[in-house]
Structure 1
Amino acid sequence: MADSTADAADDQRQLSAALGRVIRAMRRDAGKTLQQLADASGLSQPYLSQTETGRSMPSLMTLHRIAAALGTSGSALLALTEPPIAPVVRLEEDSYDLNTKVQVWFRGPTERHVEQHEIVAQPLSLAGRHQAHAGGEFIHVLEGRIRVVVGSEDAYVLGVGDSLYYAATLDHEWFNDTPAVARFVQFANSPAPA
């Protein structure tokens, strides 16, 4: 057990360092200063500096803010941190705790500009407001019930077998405001970086 914990910590450090290098390279390729990226993403310049040097690992939402400011997606940034992705993703691999009540699994390769997630949301949980970004998103509910808010007013309640596609250019968020666990898959596509 200690070996797997140490391996996970080492993997986290390696991913933080690789992701920082990718963000720095993309920022420089875009001709942006660290302060310009901070202004565009709404994050502080010191935080972005720590991220670029691998001393800080951004949350999923923060990664999306950085990616949007760079004109790409979070999955595209992550895809650039690794050699070609293996075709099999095991259940126990590639999970990410969005918060204490939500766990996300990355499912499948991202080089085609499609993020694939399996999300397990505990009762009375939410993702938090997602910043609008290029592309679209598709949700399909496997278990339980969720409420998806798109734009400022449109709310959709989805149960088992229900699906929803929406333009990600609108602010969007989902909630599991029921007393049961909800499980769903989410696919987000984004245009290829210019």
Structure 2
Amino acid sequence: MLVRDVAVQVTGHDEIDRGTEATDLAVSLGLAIRTARKASRLTLSELARRTGLSQSFLSQAENGHTVPSVLNLHAIARALGTTAHELLSHTEDEVTLSRVDAGVVFEASPGATMRRCARRGGAMAANEITAGPGVAAESATEHPGEEFVYVLEGSLDVEVGAATYRLGAGDVVYYSATVRHRWFNSADVPCRFLITSTPPF
């Protein structure tokens, strides 16, 4: 089964800078995927079989012509024995600055976007999600480590195991990420929230 994928979106005011940032990301991510695939001694066809993505799409991603959605990037990373965070971490600067009105935005789920809040490799990953009304994470997930969700605007339901927590602006839920979890916006207005995971997955 092939998984739908989308190209990267870019936000910001300067069209040239936006294009440059998106191109740089696509090229560096493509190189990281190719390097990890070769280190794993996998062919493109083997990676396609493991991820459910087409071989032609994976080739385009490796060549820097497209950027996988968040869901598919996680699938690629798992197949390569690494994490999406590691593949995306193309800088080891001591400090990275992410301006609110600039940067690369990924599809988190249909109807939801994700802005990475840190580009460097490290012990944690922080991402800002904006989810439209009625939008949910595509699937529940579980992974090593811990995670917390902080709601910035709107309201959000977070399902952790058998319990569901309704969060409003300023509310935080903290849980073991080894427990199956999923978020969904059941309200009729958008929700914006921060997810921080350690270690990043």
TM-score (norm 2): 0.78
Please tell me whether the aligned partners of residues 72 and 191 of structure 1 are also in contact (alpha carbons under 8 angstroms). no
What count of residue pairs does the alignment treat as equivalent?
Answer: 188
Task: Please tell me whether the aligned partners of residues 85 and 200 of structure 2 are also in contact (alpha carbons under 8 angstroms).
Answer: no
Counterpart of 2:181 in structure 1 is 172
Change in CA separation of 1:76 and 1:137 when aligned onto 2, cut-off 3 Å: same
- 1:135 to partner: Cα distance: 3.1
Kept after mapping to 2: 8 A contact 1:138/1:188: yes
Task: Summarize deviations over 1:102-138 as a string: whole Å, max 9, x none.
Answer: 3322213542131111222232222322554433321
- Tell me the residue number matched to 1:35: 45
Partners of 2:133 and 2:200 in 1: how far apart? 34
- Residues 46 and 79 (structure 1 numbering): CA distance in 2 closer, same or farther, change over 3 Å? same
Secondary structure of 1:9's aligned partner: helix
Matched, 1:140 2:176: no
Letter in 1 for 2:33: I
Three-state SS of the structure 2 residue aligned to 1:125 is: coil
Q: Could you tell me how far apart the structure 1 residues matched to 2:51 and 2:141 are?
A: 10
CA contact (8 A) 2:60 2:66 kept: yes
- Cα distance in 2, alignment partners of residues 4 and 12 from structure 1: 12
Please name the residue that 1:163 is paired with: 172
User: Separation in 2 of the partners of 1:70 and 1:170?
Assistant: 23
User: How much has 1:169 moved relative to structure 2?
Assistant: 4.0
Summarize the alignment of residues 39-118 of structure 1 with structure 2, pairs less than 5 Å apart.
Answer: 39-80=49-90, 82=91, 84=93, 86-98=95-107, 101-118=111-128
Percent identity over the alignment is 35
> CA contact under 8 A between 2:18 and 2:103: conserved in structure 1?
no
Where do 5+ consecutive residues of structure 1 fail to align? none
Instruction: Supply the RMSD in Å over aligned alpha carbons.
Output: 2.6
Equivalent in the alignment of 2:28: 18
Moved over 4 A (4+): none
* Offset at residue 21 of structure 1 (A): 0.6
